[in-house]
Amino acid sequence: MTGMFFIFCLLCIDVPLSFYSFSIFLILIFVFVFFCSLVGMQRCRVFFFTYIGSPARFRGSGNEISASFVLTRTVDGGPMKIHCIPGYISALYLVEYPEQGKLLLLDSGFPSDLERVRFYVEEVMAAGKFKKQRISERLRLVVSTHSHIDHAGASKGYERCGIPVACPSGMEKCYRGVKGRIAQIYEAHLSQLVAARLGRKVREGSFLFSKGLLGPYWQMPVGALRLDDGTPLPLGFHDWVAIKCPGHTSHMVCLYHSYSRIFYVSDMFVAIKKGFFPPLPVDFDWAYTRTLHRLRGLPTRCALLPHGGIIDVGDRCGSWNALIDEIVLHYELEAKRNSRFERARCLIAAGSHLLQGEHLLPDVFPRGPLPVPPEGHEPPHLHIMDS
């Protein structure tokens, strides 16, 4: 309506012909950009998924869905099954409680990952069942651990499906203003570079849940479910507890299942062939170092990595503290020796910090006790199906 009013005014006002030409040119550009955005936003709607079984395969075209699993038990003795599904650029973790028929999603993922999760829940998990359930009936809660596109990009989509989304306190303030919009475009571009490295053949839309051409290009959750340090997850998932882990961002939380000693690390670190490394970027070096030191006291048998898959800590590193030592070593020593890596790390960190403009004061660093299991507690059997 605003555009039509603008055209009407042009026709009614006596202005030079050159101004008409320039105005029509601007309108054509606007229509072209809007059309391109619609094409990009609808692109993954025609994306065809097929399930190819286990284990989870993180590289490839992106249309083949695979999965790995962690099997254990909850505090009441019931089974708990964690499904690891490769998303567009990060792994998605669906926590299933079979006896209760409910699902928990650890991070919403990239905007287009909503369709992956929908396919997995409604087609793969429902295969062979007489009555198929919609994703809105089985998925009871989604957690977005921080604001980046591969962790919160689909949050708005889940809210539109009627599924509650929990997120850290303070995350709703991210990406405000013009600098925030530029930051989102910057992050979306970086995510597409990662997707290309993973071999994704189709460029999936970053702005599926955009508020419009002026943004925000992925929206933060608007519900009242907020997480802080030591907050149990709501809606019947109190066996998972949020642990505030600033460093990568000012507000990021990780999730810990103390009964089975499973730790969802969010972007606290990543795993590649050379070992375990800090994420890119690290916005607050001092906070990241203190968070690593704090996490040493967290008994962990299995780590769930969005960028690296399922890690059997004892089998891979010998102990949780040995894994942390490796991250610290790479963070403090190897980054300085590898000049190209250090330049890339500093460039990404500087861009993120400049655009986001986040601040973190030492007095707000979490100092409460970690949600460790009681002394003498014997954890349940844990079986990883990753081969």
**Nearest CA-CA partner of 169 in 217, 247, 221, 109:** 221
Residue 33 has pLDDT above 60, yes or no: no
Classify residue 171: in a domain, yes or no. Answer: yes
State the pLDDT confidence band at 8, using cuts at 50, 70 and 90: very low
Residue 153 has pLDDT above 50, yes or no: yes
Residue 317 has pLDDT above 80, yes or no: yes
Q: How does pLDDT run across 242-259, given as a tens digit for each residue?
A: 999 999 999 999 999 999
Residue appearing with tokens 């957690």: 143
How far is Cα 22 from Cα 132, in angstroms, rounded to an integer?
56
Question: What's the total number of domains in the chain?
Answer: 1
pLDDT at 24: 59
State the pLDDT confidence band at 6, using cuts at 50, 70 and 90: very low
pLDDT at 211: 83
Among 154-168, 213-227, 325-339, which is the least confidently predicted range? 325-339
Query: pTM value?
Result: 0.84
Mean pLDDT of 178-194: 90
Classify residue 250: in a domain, yes or no. Answer: yes
Q: What is the domain extent for residue 276?
A: 49-385
Q: How far, in Å, are 3, 7, 37 from residue 26 at the CA level?
A: 11, 11, 17
Q: How does pLDDT run across 65-101, given as a tens digit for each residue?
A: 999 999 999 999 999 999 999 999 999 999 999 999 9
Classify residue 370: in a domain, yes or no. Answer: yes
Classify residue 22: in a domain, yes or no. Answer: no
Q: In the chain, which ranges are continuous DSSP H helix?
A: 2-12, 17-42, 113-119, 135-138, 149-152, 155-160, 177-197, 285-295, 313-317, 320-329, 335-337, 339-356
Question: In this structure, what CATH number is given to the domain that contains residue 188?
Answer: 3.60.15.10
Annotate 168-185 with b (16+ C-beta within 10 A) or e (fewer). bebbbebbeeeebbbbbe
Classify residue 29: in a domain, yes or no. Answer: no
How far is Cα 269 from Cα 304, in angstroms, rounded to an integer?
10
